[in-house]
Chains A and B, each alone.
Chain A
Amino acid sequence: MADELVRMEHITKFYGSVQALDDVTLTVNRGEIVGLLGDNGAGKSTLIKVLSGAVTATSGSIYVRGRKVSIRTTTDAIKLGIETIYQDSALVTQLSIARNLFLGRELITGPRFLNHLDQAAMNEVTGDLLKEVGITKDIPASTPISALSGGERQAVAIARAMHFDSDLIILDEPTNNLGVAETQGVLRFVRNARDSGHSCIFIAHNIHHVFQVVDRIVVLRRGRVVADHIDPHTTTIERVEQVITGAPDQEFVGSAPQPG
């Protein structure tokens, strides 16, 4: 029943002589939210950067929908349906929500050579998307991003990834610096994305947030995967904390759910 979407195999990454990733293998299935945990410097960010095209792995291979792919730039990743959402950085704050959603894929009306923006259509689709992602407040699509809260910005980025058929949405610390209500909002957006068939990799320092939404937890420690099939429904937070900091953890290694 599990349908494998992305598989990173034997990924190793050196920065000069410093090894950031050591033979990491990670799979994400369709419609699955994977929580990626680990202490500072454990290699979470590097692993995600390899998958999103921000850095290239020293060795190892990546498969998307069973096909081996080469991801050298963020554009490569986006074309493969892998979208990474960093807090704030992915949006142009001066532009409206609708213009951000359609940036680079603008809807055009009228004679082709004019490239006249179809702002009415973009605003309409944006309005629907904001509802779909779970924003209940009535925010006009023409609102500039700069007027939105941190959580709302995350929602816009998630909505954009959903609309442009990103199969895998990577959220890097999406709940950092957010208040309680905002955090619940973002977690709801993530669940909505999953329910509409998207996969997510969810990275957060706060284990409680991860526990609330993910289907499976993967833990990295010093560049290695030390656990890759922790079920948040049957495991305690304390136990996961032990795994992250380095307590005995053998029981979680080696039998990730296989596709098929």
Chain B
Amino acid sequence: MADLPRRSALARLIAAPEFGPFVLLIVELAVFWSINHNFLSPLNISNTLAFTVELGLIALAMTLLMTSGEFDLSVGSVFGLTPVLMWTLFNSGATSLGVGFALALAVAAVVGIVNGVFVTRLRIPSFLVTLGMLLVVRGTALYITNGFPQRTWNAGGHGLARVLVGTFQIGDFRVYASLFWFIGASIVLGYVLTETKAGNWILASGGNASAASARGVKVARTKMYLFVLSAMMSGFAGVISSIRTSAANPNSGTGYELEVIAMVVIGGTALTGGRGTIIGTVLGIFILRVMRNGIVLIGVPGLAYNIFVGAIILGMMVLHYGLEHRHREGA
């Protein structure tokens, strides 16, 4: 027992929870590329990245929340509601785009606070709380729009649009500013989780909440912040997506919650909390998005996509379960 660090660097690398997802991503890339070389063309990479980072922003926040032992099913609905609110405010002439953006994000934050209060104060499982919130938020988006998409085209050239999704040409690659938001969020949240006191509290809250609070860790407050972070990141991603696609559809984001949770667990974060990895989540994000893109490119019917995603989730769960088991045994 307890001889973990004496093993070779290679053995430790293989035992890391991120190793399985890393290998899987490499295999995926190699297989798709060998079947269709266009898969790694600058155009295809640029197109894939655009939407990937939007879902990715949500997955990063979800990683911290799940590490703390909770999860959030309302992210897809918030992704839909926030841009709808922003554009409704702007189109009605009530506010400028910037103020509308701030107000819409504030509403997202309130959704997170309500989630957090129900879970931490009333001790209702986050599954039920956020399932209810999913319906409330989606219903709100549909109600205020009468179910119709909001006009977005007069955003062109606006400063906010440039900051969030301005395009850059890097060599043959066309990238959106959102890529840098994603990279920045990965670095910041990865740092918070592994190197800071906040990260220690997040891990401890998910690992053993009663032991943590006995040591003075503010478990409820920690989870509260993470619910707010999750909701605000979803709203932020929704706004980015709506500007990029010039569409604020009250139905957008439907089903994203499950895809995001799948990305997080594929990366090695425990569904039950106490263990989380931002690097793993970044890998998980790419595994699922590359799969969706590659499957179409190599000619597998797009409708079969879910078969592969499901198989990947099941396969990765077996792998993570095995690692977890060995870990507990202290092997």
Contact = CB atoms under 8 A, between A and B. Distances in A.
B207 interface: yes
B25 to A, nearest CB: 25
B121 interface: no
Contacts, number: 90
A236 interface: no
A116 B327 contact: no
B319 interface: no
Contacts of B270: 94
A95 B2 contact: no
B196 A116 contact: yes
A92 B199 CA distance: 14
A147 B198 CA distance: 24
Nearest to A74: B214
Interface string B265-288: 000001000110000000000000
Contact of A152 (B2, B214, B327, B328): B2
Contacts of A142: 5
Interface residues of A, number: 32
Contacts of B207: 92-95
Contacts of B217: 103-104
A103 B327 contact: no
Interface string B39-59: 000000000000000000000
Interface string A149-172: 100100000000000000000000
Contacts of A90: 211, 214
A140 B5 contact: yes
B330 interface: yes
Interface in A63-111: 74-75, 78, 89-95, 99, 103-106, 108
At the interface, is chain B mostly helix, strand, loop or mixed? Answer: helix
Interface in B120-159: none
Interface string B87-116: 000000000000000000000000000000
A52 to B, nearest CB: 9
Contacts of A78: 214-216
Interface in A165-211: none
B200 A103 contact: yes
B144 to A, nearest CB: 38
Contacts of A105: 215-216
Contact of A91 (B5, B198, B208, B327): B208
Contacts of A147: 1-2, 4, 327, 330
A171 B323 CA distance: 33
A137 B2 CA distance: 10
B210 A89 contact: yes
Contacts of B204: 92, 95, 99, 103
Contacts of A115: 196-198
A92 B327 contact: no
A123 to B, nearest CB: 11
Nearest to B270: A94
A18 interface: no
Contact of A146 (B200, B203, B327): B327
B195 to A, nearest CB: 6
A94 B2 contact: no
Most B-side CB within 10 Å, residue of A78, A90, A95: A95
Contacts of A137: 2
Contact of B328 (A89, A106, A119, A146): A146
A147 B200 CA distance: 19
A237 interface: no
B212 interface: yes
A108 B330 CA distance: 29
A253 interface: no
Given A92-B274, A117-B196, A147-B330, A139 B210 contact: no
A142 B275 CA distance: 15
Nearest to A103: B215
A60 interface: no
Most A-side CB within 10 Å, residue of B198, B210, B215, B216: B215
B4 A95 contact: no
A256 interface: no
B211 A116 contact: no
B211 A92 contact: yes
A121 interface: no
A161 to B, nearest CB: 11
A2 interface: no
A201 B203 CA distance: 31
Given A93-B208, A117-B195, A75 B214 contact: yes
Given A74-B214, A75-B216, A147-B327, A108 B208 contact: no
Contacts of A116: 195-197
A143 interface: yes
Interface in B1-40: 1-2, 4-5
A143 B2 contact: yes
8 contacts: A75-B216, A92-B274, A94-B203, A106-B197, A116-B197, A144-B327, A147-B1, A147-B327
Given A78-B216, A117-B196, A143-B2, 4 more contacts: A115-B196, A117-B199, A146-B330, A148-B1
